[in-house]
Structure 1
Amino acid sequence: MSSRTKARKRAVDILYSADLRERALADALVEESQRAAQQPAREGSWVYAREIVSGVDAHLAELDAAITAHAHGWTLERMPVLDRAIIRVGAWEILHNDEVPDGVAISEAVQLAAELSTDDSGGFVNGVLSAIARDR
């Protein structure tokens, strides 16, 4: 597993945890930063995970608007928390990280959904992120 793949999973974990606990992403990032300082072996995934979470936090309103516009029939509140976190990571990569090709961002998000969420989540994540990429 590449360090970027690990970083995406770590970012999803942070977003998911913050959302469930109704904590600010900035606070969750500080907490995870302290944990990361105690685990130098995981530094490779921390740098990009921090970039993703910071980016999602900085652009949350824009990302959520794009997700809502492309998640036909689904509000953000109705989405499973885990799927919402995965889609936010993918949407941030598509809209704000030119180093990651859209296809890679979508594929990685779909893979995370397949591993971590329901049987239907991969298709849902793919549909929303593909639509965001197409309309970008």
Structure 2
Amino acid sequence: MSSRTKARKRALDILYGADLRERPLADALAEEALRATQQPQREGSWPYAREIASGVDEHRAELDALIAEHAHGWTLERMPVLDRAIIRLGAWEILFNDEVPEGVAIAEAVQLASELSTDDSAGFVNGVLSAIAHSR
């Protein structure tokens, strides 16, 4: 597993946990930063995970507006928390990280959904992120 893939999973854990617990993302990031200093074996994935989570936090209103626009028939509140976090992560990579090709961002998000969420989630994530990518 590549270091970026590990970082995405770590960022997803941060985003999902903060959303599920309805706590500020800044608090979850601070907690994870402390954990990163205590677990040097995980140090390689921390910088990009922090970049993703911070980026999602910084651009959340814009990301959520685009997600709501392209998630036909689904409101953000109605989406499963995990799927919402995966889509936010993927949308941030598509829109704000020029180093990651759109196809890679979508494929990585779909893989996370396939591994961690429901049977229908991968298709849903793919559809929403593809629509966001095409709307750029």
Q: Secondary structure at the match of 2:91?
A: helix
Q: Equivalent residue for 1:34?
A: 34
Q: Secondary structure at the match of 2:110?
A: helix
CA distance in structure 1 between the aligned counterparts of 2:27 and 2:15, rounded to whole angstroms: 11
How many Å apart are 1:80 and its aligned residue? Answer: 0.2
CA distance in structure 1 between the aligned counterparts of 2:20 and 2:111, rounded to whole angstroms: 22
Q: How does 1:68-87 map to 2 (within 5 A)?
A: 68-87=68-87
How many Å apart are 1:5 and its aligned residue? Answer: 0.3
Q: Equivalent residue for 1:121?
A: 121
Amino acid at match of 1:125: V
Q: CA deviation digits over 1:43-62, x for unaligned, max 9?
A: 11111000000000000000
How many Å apart are 1:32 and its aligned residue? Answer: 0.5
Q: Secondary structure at the match of 2:35?
A: helix
CA distance in structure 2 between the aligned counterparts of 1:15 and 1:59, rounded to whole angstroms: 13
Q: Equivalent residue for 1:134?
A: 134
Q: Equivalent residue for 2:46?
A: 46
TM-score, normalization: structure 2? Answer: 0.99
TM-score, normalization: structure 1? Answer: 0.99
Q: Equivalent residue for 2:103?
A: 103
Q: Is 1:21 equivalent to 2:21 in the alignment? A: yes
CA distance in structure 2 between the aligned counterparts of 1:134 and 1:44, rounded to whole angstroms: 32
The count of aligned residue pairs is 136
How large is the RMSD of aligned CA atoms in angstroms? Answer: 0.4
Structure 2, unmatched stretches of 5+, are none
